[in-house]
Structure 1
Amino acid sequence: MIHKLIHQHYYRRRLKDKRYDFLYESHPDELVSFDCETTSLTVSEAQIISIGAVKIRGNRILTSDTFEILIKPDGLMQATNVTIHGLRPKDLSNGVTIEAALEQFLHFVGGRPLVGYFLEYDVAMVNKFLKPMLGIKLPQPQIEISRLFHAQETKNKYYDSYVDLTMAGMVKALDIPDLPRHDALNDAINVAMMYLALKHRKI
């Protein structure tokens, strides 16, 4: 805990634009589930082309309080990526810059903890562009639902028990609606549903 506070203080001092100091404000009753669609799964070469997010307050998913934005990437997208997320170059032609998208995203999130599915990748993608922009990485606490699911599934089993950590497998195990995937906002809502199901699950 002390290490985290020191780390947070370190980056807060390096915040280039103090207008973003709100990122360090706490929101004890709310979280944000978010997801990125990208041009590649390799962080060093990928571009973010869409971000979707939804707020969670207590035990409710605030579907009336969502965030969704398209981003025009630098360079060309590979055809294989288009078949996954369905976003064609012409769909993104009116997209905003990554800097404008992150500015809006940060104002939506504030200091709320972030919830995600294999969240490390999405956070790494945002940090890739955020660090040059503001001099910091995302400071919010982060909750990885696949880790929560794995912990619950193996609680009363042998340590080497197989656990299906695919989103499809987790959705089925938790018996929740399955929105069409590889859409940033739908994936964010799916994650929010999984988080609440895990929160109230009895194992």
Structure 2
Amino acid sequence: MFDWFRLKHWFSYRATLPDAWQQQRLFEAPLLAIDLELTSLNPEQSKITSIGWLEGQNGSINLESAYYRVVRVKGDLQQSPVIHGLTPEHTELGEHVRDSLNALSQFARSHIWVFHNASLDVRVLNRAFAANNLQVEQVVTLDTLKLAMYQLKKTHELLPSNSMTLANCRQRMGLPAVPAHNALDDAMATLQLWFAQFHQLAGRNSITIDAILHTRCINVVNLGKKCKRGIDKVS
């Protein structure tokens, strides 16, 4: 039976992409790869302990754009000292998260924000923006995890355990192992993964953003307040 609901959802999903981005060539699009180190994987409770990002475009990474900050955190760091090496002594000397959010806001309309597991990081950012009375609208995000899932499902009915980690996604693309659990290192690793995925997915520089909406790796989000009708909710 033809699934009209799924077709309707597909068309509504395409319609959410801002006009300015619909015919933007992916290869030429300004990118901002972002990674957060968190106290937990619960997006409703997790706190940001560090944030890192850097810009990329035309298959190149702009190392001069690298940004890394440890964020001041109160309360239990949970597993962060073990996983990320950030102790209470580090985070007590960190800057207020608002400073990083203000800096990040400058890229809201000009860049596509690239994450590995955007569903987690975007939810945490949404809470942080709201808690600091900040907001940005119609941010276009690209999730390398969702794209990796789309690609792997072509050959696997069931996805192997841990197949979606950043390290394993990079390994499948033939990328070298890199240090993990540092926000800036992971942001760079994510951007490198996207470049490899783009080459495998498209292989040509003329492909536009709207041409890959079917992979569900592209989303449009509002951060820091309730979303308006017609714009995707944070997901």
Q: TM-score, normalised by structure 1?
A: 0.79
Deviations 1:114-152 (A, max 9, x none): 111111111111110112434535631111112212222
**What SS class does the counterpart of residue 105 from structure 1 fall into?**
helix
Give the direction of change, closer, same or farther, for the CA distance of 1:151–1:132 in structure 2 (3 Å limit). same
- 4+ long deviations beyond 6 Å: none
Stretch of structure 1 that moved more, 184-193 or 45-54: 45-54
Q: Which runs of 5+ in 1 are unaligned?
A: 6-25
Contact map agreement 2:34 2:54 (CA 8 A) in 1:
yes
The residue identity in structure 2 corresponding to 1:77 is L
Contact map agreement 1:127 1:137 (CA 8 A) in 2:
no
Deviations 1:151-191 (A, max 9, x none): 22333x36x14352122211111111222111000000000
Q: TM-score, normalised by structure 2?
A: 0.69
Query: How do 1:1-203 residues align onto structure 2 when only pairs under 5 Å count?
Result: 1-3=14-16, 29-78=29-78, 80-107=79-106, 111-134=110-133, 136=135, 139-155=138-154, 157=155, 160-163=157-160, 164-201=163-200
Give the direction of change, closer, same or farther, for the CA distance of 1:162–1:143 in structure 2 (3 Å limit). same
In structure 1, distance between residues paired with 2:65 and 2:134: 28
Deviations 1:29-62 (A, max 9, x none): 3011111011121122211111111111111111
In structure 2, distance between residues paired with 1:138 and 1:90: 35
- Alpha-carbon RMSD: 2.5
Give the direction of change, closer, same or farther, for the CA distance of 1:32–1:202 in structure 2 (3 Å limit). closer
Structure with greater helix percent: 1
The residue identity in structure 1 corresponding to 2:63 is T
Q: Which runs of 5+ in 2 are unaligned?
A: 1-13, 19-23, 203-235
The residue identity in structure 2 corresponding to 1:124 is R
**What SS class does the counterpart of residue 176 from structure 2 fall into?**
coil
Contact map agreement 1:67 1:105 (CA 8 A) in 2:
no
**What SS class does the counterpart of residue 93 from structure 2 fall into?**
coil
In structure 2, distance between residues paired with 1:107 and 1:54: 13
In structure 1, distance between residues paired with 2:120 and 2:49: 14
Match for residue 233 of structure 2? none
Contact map agreement 2:34 2:114 (CA 8 A) in 1:
yes
**What SS class does the counterpart of residue 46 from structure 1 fall into?**
coil
In structure 2, distance between residues paired with 1:113 and 1:150: 20
Give the direction of change, closer, same or farther, for the CA distance of 1:198–1:4 in structure 2 (3 Å limit). closer
Stretch of structure 1 that moved more, 186-195 or 100-109: 100-109
The residue identity in structure 2 corresponding to 1:73 is V
Give the direction of change, closer, same or farther, for the CA distance of 1:66–1:138 in structure 2 (3 Å limit). farther
In structure 2, distance between residues paired with 1:179 and 1:138: 33
Instruction: Give, in angstroms, the shift of residue 108 of structure 1.
Output: 5.1
Percent same amino acid among aligned pairs?
22
Give the direction of change, closer, same or farther, for the CA distance of 1:4–1:60 in structure 2 (3 Å limit). closer
